[in-house]
Amino acid sequence: MAVDRNAFKSRRSVLAAALGGLGALLAGALGRADEAEAAQGGNALIGVANTGTAETSFENTDGGEVSLKGIQASGIGVKGQSTDSTPSTFVGTSHRNGVFATVGSESGVFANTDEAGVYGFADLSDSSVGVVGHTNQGWGVIGIGAAGVAGFGAWGVFGSADTDQIGVYGNTGASPAPSVAGGIGVLARAESSSQLALSVVGRSQFSQSGRLTILSGKSSRTVSKPGVTPTSWIIATPQTNRSGVFVQAAVPGNGAFTVYLNKAVSGNTVVGYLVIN
């Protein structure tokens, strides 16, 4: 009987290929234990610790796609943690942050950003914002600490609101929702008579205050002041010492008020005033 040598060679090739595939499979299984120790520059591994010392980055050259997205049905979507618990001296270049996020050039980033859970930097234009918290119902940003919020800059804190809202709401005591109409830049509120809604240490300035001069021989003067209404309170006191002269009345009107003295003065007399609405 003749032997088909070609058929024999064919079966031998199939067997060799199968054994080679089995060897590769075994080698791969044995190598998985060391995948967490992958060489620098290797791929990031999912589900195991990446113990390399170099930075791990996820880069996407498609500008319309997200480089890294974390979606979790019931837990944390994305967690960033710096495990170094040594207090910082804030000397030298160091970025021990849970999250370090920048937009555009990093040329203005602080050399040392230690001990900030989240550091955000953006410096593209006057509209740039380092960190934004946004919600339509709850609190956009909550700060809890010895100082809940600290602001430094040309404006330490800026609060802006629509005509029916409140820019900045400061409250001591319980914290109910403001029971006043909106359209207020700053609302200072105390929940009991033992607390202070507003305390000012140092000089203060009010645009609805000033000084007016009642000319010699006159006993009154009307001053135009936008915002004054017939229900405004006008506090007026003489600033020039005139014997027997006093403010008899300060009468508010619509956009103006009139200060009346008890008699005509013998010389120009200054009166200070404060309008309270």
Please write the tens of the pLDDT for every residue from 206-261: 999 999 999 999 999 999 999 999 999 999 999 999 999 999 999 999 999 999 99
Per-residue pLDDT band at 60 (split at 50, 70, 90): confident
C-alpha 145: how far from chain center: 15
* From 60-64, 93-97, 123-127, 131-135, the region with the lowest mean pLDDT: 60-64
State the Cα–Cα distance between residues 26 and 18, nearest whole angstrom: 12
* DSSP string over 237-261: EESS--TT--EEEEEE-SSEEEEEE
Give the pLDDT confidence of 156-183 residue by residue, as tens digits. Answer: 999 988 888 899 999 898 777 777 788 8
- Give the model's confidence band at 5: pLDDT under 50 very low, under 70 low, under 90 confident, else very high: very low
Residue 145 pLDDT > 80, yes or no? yes
Beta bridge partners of 120: 101
Residue 56's beta-bridge partner residues? none
Q: What pLDDT score does 196 carry?
A: 95
CA distances from 19 to 12, 23, 25, 26 (A): 11, 6, 10, 11
Q: What is the pLDDT of residue 179?
A: 76
Q: Where are the domains of the chain?
A: 94-133, 158-201, 209-276
At which residue do the structure tokens 């589900």 appear?
Answer: 47
* Mean pLDDT rounded to a whole number for the chain: 84
